[in-house]
Amino acid sequence: MTKNASCKFYKNLYWDETIRNKSMIKWRLCHNKKQLTIFCVVRATNGSDQLEIIHSAFLSQDYYKEHPAYIYGIASGYSEAIDIVIRISDEAQKVGKPGKLLDYLDKK
């Protein structure tokens, strides 16, 4: 498979604590290699100021080749991805940006 041109990562990428070999996981995401348990926290595709959780397999769909997904976090499961969103939300709350997650992340 070819490299996914829409593979973009947040500079301070959030990781699930249980993930090992982070560089390999990023490489596999960028090269459309299957990873059954990996979920990504990405900017919402509807243009809102929100995050959404998608399974890594979705990144190989044609939509993401046309509309690059910006990855803020990588987790080893769906519940771990929820934990990342909660962590981001808590951090945003502490700096006075409750509910403005992308605004917080973009200025971090």
Is the distance from CB of 103 to CB of 49 less than 8 angstroms? yes
Positions in the chain short of pLDDT 50: 1-2
Using a cut of 0.85, tell me whether the model's pTM lies above it.
Answer: yes
pLDDT in the model for residue 31 = 84
Centroid of chain to Cα 65: 16
| Residues whose CB falls within 8 Å of the CB of residue 87, separated by 6 or more in sequence, listed in order | 14
Residue 73, burial from CB neighbour count under 10 angstroms (0-12, 13-18, 19+): buried
pLDDT in the model for residue 67 = 79
pLDDT in the model for residue 1 = 40
